[in-house]
Amino acid sequence: MDCVTILAQAVGTAGQEAGEESIVPINLFWEQITSLGLLEALTFISFGAVCLFYGWRVFKILVVINFGLLGLILGITIIEMIEGLNNQLIGGLIGMVILAVLSVPLMRWAVCLLGAAAGGILTSGVWYACGLTERYIWAGALIGMVGGGMISFIVFKVAVILFTSLWGSGLVVVGSLALLYIYPETADKVEEMVFTLKWFLPTALMVPTGVGIVLQHKFVKSSKEWDL
Report pLDDT digits (tens) over 17-30. 444 456 778 888 88
Residue 68 domain flag:
no
Range of the domain at 28: 21-57+107-218
Q: Is residue 128 part of a domain?
A: yes
* Per-residue CA distances from 65 to 50, 56, 120, 167 (Å): 15, 15, 20, 11
Specify if 86 maps to a domain: no
> How many structural domains comprise the chain?
1
**111 in a structural domain:** yes
Distance CA 152, CA 59 (A): 14
The span from the CA of 160 to the CA of 152, in Å, is 8
Q: pLDDT tens across 94-134, in order?
A: 889 999 999 999 988 998 899 899 999 999 989 888 888 87
Residue 79 inside a domain? The answer is: no
Give a yes or no: residue 53 inside a domain.
yes
pLDDT surpasses 50 at 11: no
Whether residue 163 has pLDDT greater than 80: yes
Residue 223 inside a domain? The answer is no
Domain-embedded: residue 35: yes
Model pTM score:
0.80
